[in-house]
A and B are shown apart, each in its own frame.
Chain A
């Protein structure tokens, strides 16, 4: 890759979220509506522990503790911004949109109205080795949300 590619990968927005992550830290909530998962990226060792707190069909909070590169950290921060306060259905739709962007190999034009700061990850989609970094917390969120809906208690969702 060249210096230009590097700048496409590390958008200012991504570096800002990395330095000042939103919503970071694990928070307690009413256990009836909470699920916690722990996901690992086995190739690099990046890890996230993520809790989803649902109330009345809304994503009340997403709290997380993550170890990893700037892409994975920034992605968790953007996830927090995008899904907290949304209905579960809307949040799942945003998840789909982000997944489509990341799996598009750089050919998908992101919709800023839906993905907001998430559009900065369009450059990441061109680097197959980094796509899984960007998706780590998103996959954890989807898993945790499914568990919370199922009413399963805080689980050992290790993957």
Chain B
């Protein structure tokens, strides 16, 4: 059991942590039996600050109208709020151009948009003999779309393996990324192992052979400062996907950022309203980005909520949030190390990893761990975390995952460690 006394003074914690926590109303609720909530499942979905909730309610109460077509005041207000949200998202990731930000339903849709349009006729079309390179640590949403693409086009799917400590095995990079490579798609931060991948190095390599680079930033966007415009062009990915609900925004909204050059070269994805320039019965011409990829009425209030969310994170400061995550992660790794029979999957140094920590506990299945933790008010995730190949790589079928965020306190990690000890005694492991 870890002592709690010194923890409050942990270096790197957000100085206003108590104030931050007050921004998240759900953290004040209690669970069955009056237990306080210890929410350690933020890599699954983050909690929402009051400002996001209020912004969405205010929009629905006062400004609701469809965007970009309603010739009335509410329509203008709604359109402005929606497009301002795009500006805020662009600022959050340092997008070189605000029109390069495409709103999607979630990260999966963003990745599928890319994998689908690459199969169709266009300058970037993937075909027989071409290769797509992914990694063994991807979330299923960055594996299956590429399997579908390569199966449909006759291209070949290849992947980076993993080292025993949960990093990408880059030893074969020259055999993997070749002149046949058309696409390299990889996660920035692993949702299971926590590993932070060397995006710049891999992107430089891929660009050198003319391949485009797609980055799944679903776990990176919440915790790493991202400044795309500041990255050298040869190290900047071409497409970056993330989801709103992991960056304290609502569900139902995701983001695909893409460089104008690549987005212009991809054919449209979904056809419909808003994505056209003009429509005749014989054929149509298409709008420019971002609207080219936003057919139909979008999730308007969700996008506006996302705008409020990333603005909130920007006010707290992504550098400060990253430092907080690292401090909590290091503290958690230390605490978990004290639990007998516990093995962490992935890198063991907090500096090279994100805030999701998956682990095994000898003799207790992850579902049973999660159930016992839940009986003490502690929410974690148990299962394969939509990363079955990464689990298979380490010879495990499933794992338990704790994941922190900007509102996580050291005492919550203490509660987790204590509850894991309790789990061991509940299943009579001593």
Which residues of A line the B interface, CB within 8 A? 1-3, 5-6, 9-10, 15, 19, 43-47, 67-71, 73, 127, 130, 133
Query: Does the CB pair B371–A9 fall under 8 Å?
Result: yes
Residue of A nearest to B34 (CB): A2
Query: Does the CB pair A3–B375 fall under 8 Å?
Result: yes
CA A134 to CA B375, docked complex, whole Å: 19
How far does the Cβ of A158 sit from chain B's closest Cβ, in whole Å? 14
Max count, chain A CB within 10 A of own CB: residue among B33, B364, B371, B382: B371
Contact of B368 among A1, A2, A45, A70 (CB under 8 A): A70
Query: Does the CB pair A44–B32 fall under 8 Å?
Result: no
Tell me whether B388 is interfacial, beta carbon within 8 Å.
Answer: yes
Contact of A47 among B365, B374, B397 (CB under 8 A): B397
> With A2-B32, A2-B33, A70-B365 as given contacts, are A45 and B398 in contact (CB-CB < 8 Å)?
yes
> With A1-B375, A3-B375 as given contacts, are A44 and B398 in contact (CB-CB < 8 Å)?
yes
Residue of A nearest to B369 (CB): A69
Tell me whether B424 is interfacial, beta carbon within 8 Å.
Answer: no
How far does the Cβ of B358 sit from chain A's closest Cβ, in whole Å? 13
Q: B residues 377-403 with Cβ under 8 Å of A? A: 382-384, 388, 391, 397-398
Max count, chain B CB within 10 A of own CB: residue among A45, A47, A68, A73: A45
CA A71 to CA B33, docked complex, whole Å: 24
Query: Does the CB pair A1–B367 fall under 8 Å?
Result: no
Question: 10 A-B Cβ contacts within 8 A?
Answer: A1-B374, A3-B376, A6-B371, A9-B371, A10-B368, A10-B426, A47-B397, A70-B364, A70-B365, A71-B368
Contact of A44 among B35, B372, B382, B427 (CB under 8 A): B382
Query: Does the CB pair B367–A44 fall under 8 Å?
Result: yes
CA A3 to CA B34, docked complex, whole Å: 12
> With A44-B384, A45-B388 as given contacts, are A130 and B371 in contact (CB-CB < 8 Å)?
yes
> With A6-B375, A70-B365 as given contacts, are A45 and B33 in contact (CB-CB < 8 Å)?
no
Which residues in B have their C-beta under 8 angstroms from that of A15? 427-428
Query: Does the CB pair A71–B367 fall under 8 Å?
Result: yes
Residue of A nearest to B367 (CB): A69
How far does the Cβ of A131 sit from chain B's closest Cβ, in whole Å? 12
CA A122 to CA B111, docked complex, whole Å: 43
CA A70 to CA B364, docked complex, whole Å: 8
Which residues in B have their C-beta under 8 angstroms from that of A10? 368, 371, 426
Residue of A nearest to B374 (CB): A1
Which residues in A have their C-beta under 8 angstroms from that of B384? 44-45
CA A57 to CA B294, docked complex, whole Å: 61
Which residues in B have their C-beta under 8 angstroms from that of A19? 428
How far does the Cβ of A45 sit from chain B's closest Cβ, in whole Å? 4
How far does the Cβ of B374 sit from chain A's closest Cβ, in whole Å? 6
Residue of B nearest to A127 (CB): B371
CA A71 to CA B35, docked complex, whole Å: 25
CA A19 to CA B364, docked complex, whole Å: 10
CA A45 to CA B368, docked complex, whole Å: 14
Query: Does the CB pair B367–A133 fall under 8 Å?
Result: yes
Query: Does the CB pair A69–B365 fall under 8 Å?
Result: yes
Which residues in A have their C-beta under 8 angstroms from that of B32? 1-2, 5
Which residues in B have their C-beta under 8 angstroms from that of A73? 365
Query: Does the CB pair A3–B367 fall under 8 Å?
Result: no
CA A9 to CA B426, docked complex, whole Å: 12
Query: Does the CB pair A67–B397 fall under 8 Å?
Result: yes
Query: Does the CB pair B397–A45 fall under 8 Å?
Result: yes
CA A92 to CA B376, docked complex, whole Å: 39
The 6 A-B residue pairs whose C-beta atoms are closest, nearest first, are A2-B33, A69-B367, A69-B365, A6-B375, A45-B384, A44-B383
Which residues in B have their C-beta under 8 angstroms from that of A6? 371-372, 375, 426
Beyond the given A45-B398, A46-B398, please list 9 additional residue pairs across the A-B interface where CB-CB is below 8 A.
A1-B32, A2-B35, A3-B33, A10-B371, A43-B383, A44-B383, A71-B367, A71-B368, A73-B365
CA A68 to CA B428, docked complex, whole Å: 18
Q: B residues 340-387 with Cβ under 8 Å of A? A: 364-368, 371-372, 374-376, 382-384
Which residues in B have their C-beta under 8 angstroms from that of A68? 365, 367, 397
How far does the Cβ of A135 sit from chain B's closest Cβ, in whole Å? 14
